[in-house]
């Protein structure tokens, strides 16, 4: 199992929402000059009902992940959004829990 960000390497993710779509961008803060350079991006549509959140990933830098739906639980605490759930794609042998923590930027 791999956990990101890689220990000792600093990464940053920006996630944005509008009324129907989301997007995210992740990159390392060393401009790719680290052991494990990082860049990923994706976007799609989402739905939210209470704390049940689902994403339909339409575009993704990992192209085999495109057109996949994921279900998550969202928790909002002050200016922090916690997204937790399972990413599962049978054809890619992907089946892992993710916990993403986002702090609102001004």
Global pTM reads: 0.85
What Cα–Cα distance (Å) separates residue 72 from each residue in 32, 54, 92, 95, 100?
A: 30, 6, 20, 14, 10
Query: Is there a domain that residue 4 lies in?
Result: no
Tell me how many domains the chain contains: 1
Mean pLDDT of 2-11: 65
Q: Which domain holds residue 75?
A: 11-30+37-103
Which residue, 61, 59, 57, is CA-closest to 40? 61
Query: Is there a domain that residue 82 lies in?
Result: yes
Predicted confidence (pLDDT) at residue 3 exceeds the cutoff of 60: no
pLDDT at position 73 is 98
pLDDT at position 5 is 59
Query: Is there a domain that residue 6 lies in?
Result: no
Distance CA 57, CA 39 (A): 17
Query: Is there a domain that residue 47 lies in?
Result: yes
What CATH number should be reported for the domain holding residue 43? 2.40.128.490
Which residue, 98, 104, 46, 49, is CA-closest to 77? 104
pLDDT at position 76 is 94
């Amino acid at each position: 199992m791999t956990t990101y960000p890689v220990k000792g390497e600093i990464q940053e993710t920006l996630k944005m929402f509008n009324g129907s779509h989301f997007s995210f961008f992740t990159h390392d803060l060393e401009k790719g000059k680290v052991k494990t350079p990082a860049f990923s991006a994706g976007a799609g549509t989402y739905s939210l009902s209470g704390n049940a959140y689902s994403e339909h990933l339409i575009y993704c830098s990992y192209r085999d992940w495109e057109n996949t739906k994921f279900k998550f639980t969202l928790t909002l605490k002050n200016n922090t959004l916690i997204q937790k759930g399972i990413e599962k794609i049978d054809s890619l042998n992907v089946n892992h829990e993710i916990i993403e923590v986002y702090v609102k930027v001004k």
